[in-house]
């Protein structure tokens, strides 16, 4: 399938907030934070919402809707190569989520998690170290947490 036009013309919702973060204004703690460094230099925080009602769609219908959404999201990713995604509002299927959510902090955060949680007690989808785990679902690979949490096969 080929889609043309803008994401708003395609029916998606766009919300953008201009911003100018600085140490003077925000008082952020510098590079010792876990937040993606892109949030320290960005000029806009933008959200794109997929308003399709997925309830009642088949597993393939949900995958098709997400693939269509990603056509437009990829345009944004290409226009903002050093950008990121805010993990609390991010897509659980965000490609390269480690970099999108945490930027170049990810390797350090994995070291911290390994040191303080060596038994992997604390888990969240697309959280630091979560690629070591997978939820076995009956939903044909849809991103749900409806199933047992198992170690990922290497």
pLDDT at 1: 44
On whether residue 84 sits in a domain, the answer given is: yes
Domain count, the chain: 1
In terms of pTM, does the model score above 0.85? no
User: Residue 86's domain spans which residues?
Assistant: 13-151
On whether residue 4 sits in a domain, the answer given is: no
Between 33 and 14, whose confidence is greater? Answer: 14
On whether residue 62 sits in a domain, the answer given is: yes
Average pLDDT over every residue of 29-50: 78
Write the DSSP assignment of the chain as a string of letters: ----S-TTTTT-EEEEEE----HHHH---GGGSSS-THHHH-SEEEEEE-----TT--HHHHHHHHHHHHHHHHHHHHH-TT----GGGS-TT-TTHHHHHHGGGHHHHHHHHHHH-TT-----TTSTTGGGEEE--SSTT-S---S-EEEPP-
Q: What is the pLDDT of residues 100-120, one digit of tens each?
A: 999 999 999 999 999 999 998
Are 16 and 44 contacting, i.e. CB atoms less than 8 angstroms apart?
Answer: yes
On whether residue 116 sits in a domain, the answer given is: yes
On whether residue 45 sits in a domain, the answer given is: yes
On whether residue 35 sits in a domain, the answer given is: yes
Report the DSSP beta bridge partners of residue 46: 16
């Amino acid at each position: 399938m080929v889609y043309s036009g803008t994401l708003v013309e395609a029916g998606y919702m766009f919300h953008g907030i201009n911003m100018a973060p600085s140490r003077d204004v925000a008082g952020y703690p510098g590079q010792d934070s876990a937040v993606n460094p892109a949030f320290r230099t960005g000029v806009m925080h933008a959200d794109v919402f997929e308003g399709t009602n997925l309830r009642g769609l088949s597993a393939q219908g949900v995958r098709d809707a997400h693939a269509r959404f990603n056509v437009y999201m990829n345009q944004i990713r290409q226009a903002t190569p050093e950008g990121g995604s805010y993990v609390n509002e991010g897509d659980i299927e965000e490609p390269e989520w480690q970099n999108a959510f945490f930027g170049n902090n990810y390797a350090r955060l994995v070291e911290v998690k390994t040191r303080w949680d060596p038994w992997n007690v604390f888990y969240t989808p697309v959280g630091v170290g979560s690629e070591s785990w997978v939820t076995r679902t009956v939903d044909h690979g849809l991103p749900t947490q409806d199933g047992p949490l198992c170690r990922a096969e290497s």
